[in-house]
Amino acid sequence: MENDGSHDFGYALRKEYWHRGIVSEACGAVIERLKQEGIPYITATHNQNNPRSGAVMKRLDMRYCYSYQEQWQPKNFPVIFRMYQLNLDGREHGIYQKYWDRSDQRFIETVP
Residues 65 and 109 sit within 8 Å (Cβ to Cβ): no
Residue-wise pLDDT for 52-96, tens only, equals 999 999 999 999 999 999 998 888 899 999 999 999 988 887 899
* CA atoms 70, 35, 90, 12: torsion sign: positive
Q: Amino acid identity, residue 91? A: R
Residues 28 and 13 sit within 8 Å (Cβ to Cβ): no
pLDDT given for residue 1 in this prediction: 37
Report, as an integer, the average pLDDT of 40-48. Answer: 94
pLDDT given for residue 6 in this prediction: 82
pLDDT given for residue 65 in this prediction: 96
Report, as an integer, the average pLDDT of 20-24. Answer: 91
pTM: 0.89
pLDDT given for residue 3 in this prediction: 60
H helix intervals, the chain = 22-37, 51-59, 98-102
Domains and CATH numbers, the chain: 15-107 (3.40.630.30)
